[in-house]
Structure 1
Amino acid sequence: MSNQSSGGQPPTGADHFSRSGFIFAAIGSAVGLGNMWKFPYITGKYGGAAFFLLFVIFLVLVGLPVLLAEMTIGRGGRGSAYTSFRNLSKVKVWGTFGFLAILGAFMILSFYGVVAGWTLHYAFLSFTGSLFSSSDYGGTFASFSGSYVPVFWLLVVMVLTGWVVARGISGGIEKFNKILIPALLVILLVLMGRALTLPGAMEGVRFFLKPDFSKLTAESALVALGHAFFSLSLGMGTMLTYGAYVDRRQSLGGAAAAIGLGDLFYALLAGMIIFPTSAAFALKADQGPSLIFVVLPAAFGAMPYGTFFGGLFFVLLAIAALTSAVSLLEVPVIYAMEKWKLARTKAAWGTAALIFLVGIPSALSVGGPLSRFTLGGKTYFDLLDFAASNVLLPVGGLVVTLFTGYAWKKAGEEAGLTGPLYRIWLFVLRYVAPVMILLIFLYSLGLFG
């Protein structure tokens, strides 16, 4: 393999993103459930506006340089995470590290698809009004998650995701995101308008936008750093894979900036929905997944036209989940196409089916029939989450920074950076980002805090 910036054809020949299509798809990958429930939850827990400010700083200083590096490897290598590293280096171990990103995306989708299915189920319950027929929202969620119904919704998610990916890059992934990302924005704005007009909503706005630096701790800084990194879908091969389909004429630096702004904007709008709504109904916004599936349904049930707005909210979550699921599925699909010379349709449906089978135990282990089977106190769902999020993703991100910073000498040329900008980028990738990612890794393992 040659150590060069190939800049050749995308891995599937003529099928590639348009300039705007790549931006929409990448924003769709970045804007997932993490923006909608994890970001408000950790912001509420770790200091409100002061935490949000830290998140923005880390997003710019660490997240965007690593994002640019990952997309650059993809466009330079023109293949899967495994193939791109192999195409750009004679050292075979880099390809092995690339395979870890593929494995991470596969594992993540197997349990992420379960949560995506929850959002579809709750959207259905909201629009039919059955979600609000009882005030015992905790009991409703426990009854649902403890049954076999989540398996059906996981199947729905994987069928939808497989269908999009099977249709290709321009005809499937790009069109899907060009429809759903603007729809996501419209729904966010409608829900934000409803939230801001609730009595007492301004107290939530002040909490979100008025910094109180006395609430910041070393732990909150580490959490902000971790979320800035993972909210951009870094370390899991999605941005690298999407980069393989980017035209040589597209500015990767400009694309990285647009993706970062889009991710930040959607997180900001999510906060402007969650915190005003929580304040209006005297709810706590620091309760994790229960905030979405237990606490907020109570708020929607109490507000005028709550059935409609509750339904919109869960449609919003479902869209965010599905756009990310599509990017995750593409990572192992392109590898399957390269490895076994499969047509895209067969690779997409075959991979989706395999992920569905692997995900069934996850669907049944969150309060369900398999929840009593644990290892080290963790259910099957928790084990996959821990292994992928706390081990494979940090390792994947670290590999990207070290490869671009040290091993691949033509990274700046492929990224389109020269002069001071290139030197700053290289400094971040060599000295800043690896230390930051190592801190995230140690903290997530409970070895540092």
Structure 2
Amino acid sequence: MSVQNSTNTSDKKKERFSSTGFILAAIGSSVGLGNMWKFPYITGENGGAAFFLLFIVCLLVIGLPVLLAELAIGRSGRGSAATAFVRVGGRRGWKGLGILQVIAPFMILSFYIIVAGWTLHYAVTAFSGNLFSNTDFAGQFSQFVSGYMPIFWQFVALLITGSVVILGISGGIEKFNKVLIPSLVILLIVLMIRAVTLPGSEEGVAFFLKPDFSQLTAESALVALGHAFFSLSLGMGILLTYGSYVRKEQSLGSATLAIGVGDLIYAFIAGLIIFPTTFSFGIAPDQGPSLVFIALPAAFSAMPWGGFFGGLFFILLAIAALTSAVSLLEVPVSYTMERFSWSRKRSVWTLAALIFLLGIPSALSLGMAPGLTFGGKAFFDWVDFITSNIMLPIGGLAITIFAGYFWKGAAEASGLRAGWFRVWLFMLRYIAPILVFLVLLHTSGLIKFK
């Protein structure tokens, strides 16, 4: 399909977000498992409050400028992530980097949906009481991931995700987020109140809110930078795709700020849930990924109404996971609808089937098929490493370089006033590319700090 023909197809596309629906959908894409699962343990590993402040700075310095660039390119291109660069005036060589941003979310979803399935399983077992009937939570988790049940829950999570995306933008993704994002906020507030009122929670609050800058290292700076970048779903084609559904009258500057604030508030409340709870029950906050699925169930089992609050916590995780999964699936769906002229229904179920099949080796590599390990990493970890540490930084770097140096229509598309536009352009040209490149070197393992 030629660029001209695909442009005509895009112009006829009637799917659009409402202003509120777009912001909620974009927030939904960013408030995934990263801020509730990854953010607490990397904050715990890097000193607490000082790291959180560093994360805020990185969000402002690199996150928001790149976020605005992605949305502006997406709205101007009015197509899939694969053709966005070419449609706004870039040479055909840029299309390869656009296709990279279609492949990345496809691969990410193949392992992300597995963890989403875990959260659904834990929510069900928490409310049923089965989770807390045996206090060997490490053994429970190991037994669960070593069996076939993760594949069943992977299927359930993918079925829910596909059922939302198949309904389209306004009828599916927008309505889904309009229900789940407010529900997420309510759950966050309820769990935060429970956490900060636990006996001994004050130490956890202090750890998260009283900075000790002596705890920060060069390694901490790059980790904060990387998480600020990834927590906003940058470099993975989501915001390019969502931008194509944004109405012309929508202020992208205001939307960027709202999305950034929403992501930050979510991370803040997540910290006020995790750290008061862990400190209250004497759990170290730097336990890595096991913090959520092993350490926190132990804490919930020891508190009054622990089954109820534990169930709420895993429902919270499941909602966060599914809102992001919907965003990830929409990227390749948008591309296949544009490239092959498929219906939305055919695109969704074909891609969902392929993602499910690709996810099976990842699920089995964690238990049932330990032979699916290469170079000391399970298949699951390799897919995660390649996408998160290599493909996404390359995608983000492409955004900054294209918008900063090659896009002639950036000023008009951004909608910024002259002064703010100059600041934005300076960040995209001279600050963001260097920092994103450092993140790429760090996450790929080419540079390390002790």
Q: TM-score under structure 1 normalisation?
A: 0.97
Structure 1 match to 2:194:
194
Q: For residues 372 and 352 of structure 2, what CA distance do their matches in structure 1 show?
A: 25
Is the contact made by 1:204 and 1:279 (CA closer than 8 Å) also made in structure 2?
yes
Partner of 2:231: 231
User: Residue 429 of structure 2 corresponds to which residue in structure 1?
Assistant: 430
- Residue 332 of structure 1 aligns with an amino acid whose one-letter code is P
**2:374: which partner in 1?**
375
Partner of 2:383: 384
In structure 2, the gaps of 5 or more residues are: none
Determine the structure 2 residue equivalent to 1:346: 346
Secondary structure at the aligned position of 2:82 is classed as: helix
Residue pairs, 1:71-220, within 5 angstroms:
71-220=71-220
CA distance in 2, matches of 1:270, 1:17: 28
- Tell me, yes or no, if the aligned pair for 2:90 and 2:407 is still in contact at 8 Å: no
Deviations 1:373-392 (CA, angstroms, capped at 9, x unpaired)? 21111111011001000110
- Structure 1: 5+ residue stretches without partners: none
Aligned Cα root-mean-square deviation (Å) = 1.7
SS of residue paired to 2:372: coil
CA contact (8 A) 1:10 1:245 kept: no
Q: Following the alignment from structure 1 to structure 2, what is the Cα–Cα distance between the partners of residues 9 and 250?
A: 22
Mapped to 1, the partners of 2:307 and 2:12 lie a distance apart of 44
Answering whether residue 311 of structure 2 is matched by residue 326 of structure 1, we say no
Question: Contact 2:58/2:225 (CA < 8 Å) preserved in 1?
Answer: yes
Alpha-carbon separation, structure 1, partners of 2:212 and 2:113: 36
Contact 1:85–1:95, Cα closer than 8 Å, also in 2: yes
User: Secondary structure of the equivalent of 2:304?
Assistant: coil
Q: Following TM superposition, by how much is the alpha carbon of 1:418 offset from its aligned partner in structure 2, in angstroms? A: 3.1
Q: Within 2, Cα distance between the matches of 1:305 and 1:317? A: 19
Q: Is the 8 A contact 2:361 2:372 kept in 1?
A: no
Name the aligned partner's letter for residue 140 of structure 1: Q
Q: In structure 1, how many angstroms separate the alpha carbons of the residues matched to 2:142 and 2:90?
A: 52
Q: Secondary structure at the match of 1:284?
A: coil
Q: What CA deviation, in whole Å up to 9, does each residue of 1:358-406 have, x standing for no partner?
A: 111111111x122232111111101100100011000000000111111
- Give the distance between the partners of 2:369 and 2:189, measured in 1 at CA: 39
Q: Is the 8 A contact 1:3 1:88 kept in 2?
A: no
CA contact (8 A) 1:10 1:16 kept: no
Matched letter for residue 275 of structure 1: F
Alpha-carbon distance between aligned partners in 2 of 1:134 and 1:44, rounded to the nearest angstrom:
27
* Structure 1 CA distance for aligned equivalents of residues 262 and 342 of structure 2: 34
1:115-167 deviations in whole A, cap 9, x for unaligned?
A: 00000000011000000001100000000000011000110111111110000
Structural mapping, 1:241-252, within 5 Å: 241-252=241-252
TM-score in terms of structure 2 length: 0.97
Deviates further, 339-348 or 17-26: 339-348
| Aligned mates of 2:25, 2:372 — CA distance in 1 | 38
1:400, 1:3 → 2: CA distance? Answer: 20
Q: SS at the partner of 1:130? A: coil
